[in-house]
Amino acid sequence: MILQQFLLLAAALFSVGLYGALSQQSIVMIMMGLELMANAIIVAASAFWYFASPSRPDGQVVVVVALVLMAVDMAIGFAVTTAIFRRRDVDMTDSAADLKG
């Protein structure tokens, strides 16, 4: 595969994630859109590193660290969402607007 195909895949993932994050009201669906956008950035970054220096493993290490950080971030986000849902029975962003202050 060539770099342009990876970048096209990353652009498609980012576009779908952006649409999902902006068009949904469910907190879980917004978080899924954000995760798709983060995955697109990771795909693009790993493709650049692979084509820039394929013999060096430092790009792969950065990608693995980014994946782990993204997984931890999403786990914390889902834990907060679950806590809000259990406490107030709220799963939509409009209903959670009163939590800010």
Q: Which of 40, 35, 44 is nearest to 69 (CA)?
A: 35
Name the band, by pLDDT with cuts 50, 70 and 90, for residue 50: confident
CA 29 to CA 75: how far, in whole Å? 14
What is the domain partition of the chain in residue ranges? 3-90
Mean pLDDT (whole number) for 12-24: 94
pTM for the complete prediction? Answer: 0.79
CA 88 to CA 76: how far, in whole Å? 18
Residue 83 burial class via C-beta count within 10 angstroms: exposed 0-12, middle 13-18, buried 19 and up = exposed
Name the band, by pLDDT with cuts 50, 70 and 90, for residue 95: low
The pLDDT value recorded for residue 59 is 78
Q: What's 63-78 look like in SS3?
A: HHHHHHHHHHHHHHHH
- Indicate if the pLDDT at residue 46 is higher than 60: yes
CA 22 to CA 88: how far, in whole Å? 24
- Domain 3-90 annotated CATH 1.10.287.3510: yes
